[in-house]
Amino acid sequence: MTTTSFWEQDLFYKPYDLIIIGAGITGCSAALEISAKHPDWNILMVERNFYPSGASSRNAGFACFGSISELLDDLEHTDEAVVKELVRKRYEGLLLLRDTVPAEEMDFEMCGGHELFTDKEHFNTCADAVTRFNDWMKDIAGVSDAYSTSKVNGYPVIFNKYEGYLHSGKLMQWLHTQVRNAGIEIRWGAKVKSVKTGNVTLDNDIHLNAHRILLATNGFTGGIMDEVPIVPARGYVFVTNELEEMPWKGTWHYDKGYIYFRNIGNRLLLGGARNVDKSKEETTEDKINPMIKAHLVQFVMNTLKLKGNWAIEHEWTGIMGFGPGKTPMIKEIETDVWVGAGLSGMGVALGMQFGKDIANKI
Ligand SMILES: Cc1cc2nc3c(=O)[nH]c(=O)nc-3n(C[C@H](O)[C@H](O)[C@H](O)COP(=O)(O)OP(=O)(O)OC[C@H]3O[C@@H](n4cnc5c(N)ncnc54)[C@H](O)[C@@H]3O)c2cc1C
């Protein structure tokens, strides 16, 4: 762009009180909280694509807070108090989400979460820990029966009755409507190239001014400010055709949470397995890793044993962001330039409370 009219300058280049980069669950939740706290602020949200194209509308829609094998794995390298606090945040975050968004607006169902085991010894280790995690849930939520063991389709299973699933796209659509209703401007197709105190530069060299800037760009943050320690982690998901019979209802985890699946009606959604080729998946590239896809297809055939003709009808990748540990990061990286990122694979549970936490800091 070479010239700017008087009118454009007057309208579009005014200094904003806050520019939020990224229209995912973090950006939207923070925007709503901040505008409620500062109703007089002039807030702009910019998103690189025609629709939000980060993890928030590409995830699996699990409303979950931790399978036992994943929690035991976390406890091997993280203090118990830290892991328990994360479970508390996820559980309370889900309550906040369900209190805020009407269930029918996001197709929420309390379907229950399952963990599937194919190794008897691993199951026994996790089953022995059921009492311990039920005690955690008694402290956290005042419930005594969160986890229980059972058998499904011939496999030993640990069931968590306080987990559910939802339609990730509908959740984001609802959030965007609230953001617009709060009088916050959203500009789609506005990719940010660089940021410094007071200034946001878009890919087409438009320069915007703001008193404060929030990067809610999750796994993509390094593309704007490479000093931010958020590592991208690509996740792969596919959805099958409608099957005559769906033997796997509800949400499911396997292999310390690395593989996850659920039903969407009579379709199977399956994803994960990034541990099969972990270092290659530390990327923001939207490309399917054939080794991971093959691993998941084998899992459907050998373990889930779907009957009849099944085929992959949709497949995609999405980018998560991991900070040091699994704890999300809110940090002022330069004067009045903040980063809120690193919700890892738990943004559905953590996102809304994270927005409140960001609003309390900025
Ligand atoms: C495959 C997959 C499955 C998952 N499944 C689940 C699940 O079942 N349950 C769960 O709780 N969590 C899940 N997650 C994690 C969850 O989706 C994330 O933790 C959460 O969505 C992160 O939200 P966010 O707003 O911080 O980031 P994002 O949703 O990634 O938002 C960042 C936004 O910034 C935009 N952006 C990036 N760069 C720029 C730029 N330069 N200029 C302008 N805009 C930019 C992006 O387009 C994007 O819209 C999954 C993630 C993936 C990838």
Q: State the distance from the centre of ligand 1 to the C-alpha of 171, rounded, in angstroms.
A: 13
Domain at 6-58+169-230+325-361, CATH homologous superfamily: FAD/NAD(P)-binding domain (3.50.50.60)
- High-pLDDT (> 70) share of the chain, %: 100
Expressed in angstroms and rounded, the spacing between residue 320 Cα and the centre of ligand 1 is 6
Percent of the chain with pLDDT over 90: 89
Residue bearing the CA closest to ligand 1, atom 35? 22
Residue nearest to atom 19 of ligand 1 (CA): 347
- From 86, 202, 348, 358, the mutation candidate for ligand 1 (largest count of ligand atoms within 8 A of CB) is 348
* Ligand 1 pocket, residue 322 CB under 6 Å: no
Every domain range in the chain assigned CATH 3.50.50.60 = 6-58+169-230+325-361
Cα–Cα distance measured from residue 158 to residue 251, given in angstroms and rounded to the nearest whole number:
12
Q: What is the pLDDT of residue 9?
A: 87
With a 6 Å cutoff on the Cβ, whether 175 touches ligand 1 is no
Instruction: Domain 110-162+232-322: give its CATH superfamily.
Output: D-Amino Acid Oxidase, subunit A, domain 2 (3.30.9.10)
CATH 3.30.9.10 domain position(s) in the chain: 110-162+232-322
Reported ipTM:
0.99
Residue 3's pLDDT is 84
The enclosing H or E element of 234 equals strand 231-240
Q: Tokens for 252?
A: 């499911």
Please check the confidence at residue 325 and state whether its pLDDT lies above 80. no
- Position 236 scores a pLDDT of 98
Number of Cβ within 10 Å of residue 124's Cβ equals 13
| Model pLDDT for residues 85-129, shown as the tens digit of each residue | 999 999 999 999 999 999 999 999 999 999 999 999 999 999 999
Measured from the CB, is residue 217 less than 6 Å from ligand 1? yes
The mean per-residue pLDDT over the stretch 157-184 comes to: 97
Per-residue model confidence as pLDDT tens digits over 281-309? 999 999 999 999 999 999 999 999 998 89
- Coil, strand or helix at 51: coil
Query: What pLDDT digit, counting tens, does each position of 241-270 carry?
Result: 999 999 999 999 999 999 999 999 999 999
Q: What value does the mean pLDDT take over residues 345-354?
A: 94
The per-residue pLDDT for range 14-73, each reduced to its tens digit, is: 899 999 999 999 999 999 999 999 999 999 999 999 988 899 999 999 999 999 999 999
Does the Cβ of 235 fall within 6 Å of ligand 1? yes
- Output the CA 344–ligand 1 centroid distance in Å: 9
56 lines ligand 1 (CB under 6 A): yes
What atom of ligand 1 comes closest to residue 49's alpha carbon? 47
Confidence tier at 340 by pLDDT (50, 70, 90): very high
Distance CA 108, CA 239 (A): 19
Which burial class, exposed, middle or buried, applies to 338 when counting CB atoms under 10 A from its CB (0-12, 13-18, 19+)? buried
- pLDDT higher than 60, residue 166: yes
Average pLDDT, the chain: 95
- Report the atom number in ligand 1 closest to the C-alpha of 344: 19
Check residue 1 and give its pLDDT.
54
Q: Is 165 exposed, middle or buried (0-12, 13-18, 19+ CB in 10 A)?
A: buried
